[in-house]
Amino acid sequence: MIVDVGAPYRRRLEQALGDEAQRTAIERATARLSDQRTKALTTVDNPRLRDEARAIRQSAIQNLPSLLEELETNLTANGCQVHWARNAAEATSIVREIAEKSGTRRVVKSKSMVTEEIGLNEALENTGIDVVETDLGEYIIQLANEPPSHIIAPVIHKRVEDISELFQRELGMPPTDDPAVMCAAARQRLRRDFLGADMGISGCNFAIAETGTICIITNEGNGRMVTSMPRVYVAVAGMEKVIPTVEDAVLLWQAASRNATGQNVSVYFSISSGPRRSGHADGPEEMHVVLLDNGRSRMLERGYGDAALCIRCGACINACPVYREIGGHAYGRTPYNGPIGAVITPLLADDPTSYKELPYASSLCGICRDVCPVKIDLPRLLLDLRSDLVESGSTPRSERVAIRAYTRSVESPARFRRLQRLARIASRLPVLPPPLNKWARTREIPPVPAKSFQQLWSDKREADRGESGE
């Protein structure tokens, strides 16, 4: 991995912008995914789909407490154990306790950003439990000892050659760059893990309150494996994922599938409502659901309800011109990147000023808002976050001073004209003052004309008056 997610922001950007191989891989992949998405949306009434998806998600957030209670009641009635966690520490502690009580030595996981968010793998590994990521992309980055760089396509930053090399090294696979061969190698290895694991862990795409059901979307089949083969199944769910009805889940499933990869539906949609019933040949004997806060209530307290609507499709990430240049690891030690990540990573963090560069890592072009299946106004949220950072005094002092000076100049026309004269002088300096010097490193500065438009205009008016003999 070239980008060190633990490094400071500037360094991460530098590393990302310097990694041509990664940029090529990301550009190809995001362009392809975006094209597939566009195609898939031509065959549905997308404006209506977006309106309904948003209405479902928004009213769910507005009714969150009672929906969570309904979910809990129904999950419990189905034979599940429901756990509540205010933060990552509580959540990982709960899962560790379940593992201990059940004598779990080996865990298989399907792809889950929320478990990355709480650092679950590490917490389990620290107690000597073997954790195996089974989603192919997650499996690859686990072998490479890297974090995911995209919420849907965790290994989007790697090329075939990189992965082949990795499999040769870690799996003893003979050299090949045939993806089918590589997948077969992974399938064989992971099959043993599926069948031998004590516990399966998944995230949760949607939680249906009326039936007490945890829904997960996969394409590989590892979701079904993880939720069916081991004796214990633990689902970790961000508490904002709850929705009222089965029909809601089916609509959002289709919206998420089309927007994520351009598929009409994902290959598998596995919706689990409880442990196996008596007489069934398979299914978990215990099912646990961990409902996680970890900053979500704080997000709402700060007024960022839109951010809680996200259905984690990744369309904004694929569309983002910034993500295309820097990839996911540049956003730092967070599983959430791209436009939605730039918003929720700072919001979910304990310290609201950590990740303070992320809201500024955007040109506010607005394409993310255009593609979002639940119409989140991401540029507006970024602007709000920027305003919050300014209010909390977290922006550079030199910047505050410059903006204030500019404001004073702008409030009076006379001062504005003085500013323009200053600009003219400054533009002729061999070295520009910061922050303009950053501009000049890669770009020419336009010449500042002797007279501003307003001056020319008022000169002209005087001349006209002179001519007409006033």
Partner 1 sequence: MNSSMLDARTDILARLRRVLDDPRQMFRGPEDVRRPDVPMTVTRAEGDPLTLAKVFGENLEAVDGSYEIVADTGAVLKRILERVRLWEAESDQPQDSNGSKSREILSWDPDELPLPSIGQYLAEADVDLFVPDDLHDDADRKRAAAASIGLTGVDAAFAGTGSVVLAPSKGRSRAASLLPYRHIALVPMSAIYPTVEAWLSTLRREGRLGDFVRDSSQLAFITGPSKSADIELNLTLGVHGPKQIHAIVFDDRQ
Partner 2 sequence: MVDALYPRVGQAAVDLLEKCGATVLVPEQQTCCGQPAFNAGYRHEARRMARHFVDVFAPLVETGEIDAIIAPSGSCVAMVKHFYQVLFAEPGHERDRDRAARLQPITYELTEYLVDVLGVERIDARYPGRLTYHACCHLLRELGVDDQPRKLLAATDGAEIVGLSGADECCGFGGLFAVKNAELSTAMGRRKARNIRESGADTVAMNDVSCMTHINGLLARESHGCRAVHIAEVLNGSVDGDAKRALADDS
Rounded Cα distance, 61 and 309, in Å:
7
Looking at residue 365, its amino acid is C
Q: Which residue in the set 444, 466, 468, 470 belongs to the binding site for partner 2 (CB under 8 A)? A: 444
Residue 211 DSSP class: T
Of the two residues 105 and 428, which places its CB atom closer to partner 2 in the complex?
428
Q: Which is nearer to partner 1, 14 or 210 (CB)?
A: 210
Check binding of 420 to partner 2 (CB under 8 A).
yes
Contact (CB, 8 A) for 259 and 206: no
For residues 285 to 324, the per-residue mask of contacts with partner 2, x marking binding by CB under 8 A and - elsewhere, is: ------------------------------------xx--
Q: Distance between CA atoms of 122 and 118, rounded to whole angstroms?
A: 9
Residue selected from 399, 426, 429, 433 as contacting partner 2 according to rule CB under 8 A: 399
To partner 2, the closest distance from the beta carbon of 316 in angstroms equals: 13
Among 438, 462, 463, 464, binds partner 2 (CB under 8 A): 438
Considering the complex, what minimum distance in angstroms separates the CB of residue 122 from partner 1?
22
Name the 3-class secondary structure at 108.
strand
**Which one of 28, 86, 439, 463 is in contact with partner 2 (CB under 8 A)?**
439
Per-residue H/E/C for 402-458:
HHHHHHHHHHCHHHHHHHHHHHHHHHCCCCCCCCHHHHHHHCCCCCCCCCCHHHHHH
Give the C-alpha separation, 77 to 83, whole Å: 14
Binding segment (CB under 8 A) for partner 2, from list 183-191, 229-237, 331-339, 362-370: 362-370
Binding mask 210-239 for partner 2 (x = CB under 8 A): ------------------------------
DSSP string, 274-317: SSPPTT-SSS-SEEEEEEE-TTHHHHHHTT-GGGGG-----HHH
Which among 156, 288, 134 is positioned nearest to 218, based on CA atoms? Answer: 134
Question: Closest Cα to residue 2, out of 337, 341, 330?
Answer: 330
Q: 6 or 457: whose CB is closer to partner 2?
A: 457
Q: Which secondary-structure segment (H or E) carries 252? A: helix 246-261
Residue 390 contact among partner 1, partner 2, none, beta carbon within 5 to 8 Å by kind: partner 2
- Write the binding mask 330 to 349 for partner 2: x where contact by CB under 8 A, - elsewhere: --------------------
Instruction: Choose among partner 2, partner 1, none what residue 443 binds, the Cβ cut-off being 5 to 8 Å by kind.
Output: partner 2
* CB neighbour list of residue 284: distance below 8 Å, 6 or more residues apart: 200, 227, 228, 230, 231, 232, 233, 275, 276
Least Å from the CB of residue 124 to partner 1: 19
**Binder of residue 360, out of partner 1, partner 2, none (CB less than 5 to 8 A by kind):** partner 2
Q: Is residue 406 a contact residue for partner 2 (CB under 8 A)?
A: yes
Instruction: Say if residue 383 is exposed, middle or buried (CB neighbours under 10 Å; 0-12, 13-18, 19+).
Output: middle
Number of residues that bind partner 2 (CB under 8 A): 63
* Residue 251 binding result from partner 1, partner 2, none, given CB thresholds of 5 to 8 Å by partner type: partner 1
455 alpha carbon, distance to own chain's centre: 49
Q: Which does 204 bind (CB under 5 to 8 A by kind): partner 2, partner 1, none?
A: none
The amino acid present at 9, given as its one-letter code, is Y
Is residue 289 within 8 Å of residue 227, measured between CB atoms? Answer: no
- According to CB under 8 A, which one of 126, 267, 418, 457 is a site residue for partner 2? 457
463 binds, among partner 1, partner 2, none (CB under 5 to 8 A by kind): none
Which segment (72-80, 306-314, 388-396, 462-470) binds partner 2 by CB under 8 A?
Answer: 388-396
Binding part of the chain for partner 2, among 149-157, 175-183, 210-218, 380-388 by CB under 8 A, reads 380-388
**Which token pair is 171?**
């799996």
DSSP H helix total and E strand total for the chain: 22, 10
Give the integer Cα–Cα distance in Å for 33 and 37. 6
Q: Which of 1, 7, 17, 143 binds partner 2 (CB under 8 A)?
A: 17
Pick the closer one to partner 1 by CB: 104 or 213: 213
Residue 452 found at the interface with partner 2 (CB under 8 A): yes
Query: Do 16 and 327 meet the contact criterion of CB atoms below 8 Å apart?
Result: yes
Q: Which residues bind partner 2 (CB under 8 A)?
A: 13-14, 17, 321-322, 325-326, 359-367, 369-370, 380, 383, 385-390, 395, 399-400, 403-404, 406-407, 409-413, 416, 419-420, 423, 435-436, 438-439, 441-449, 451-458
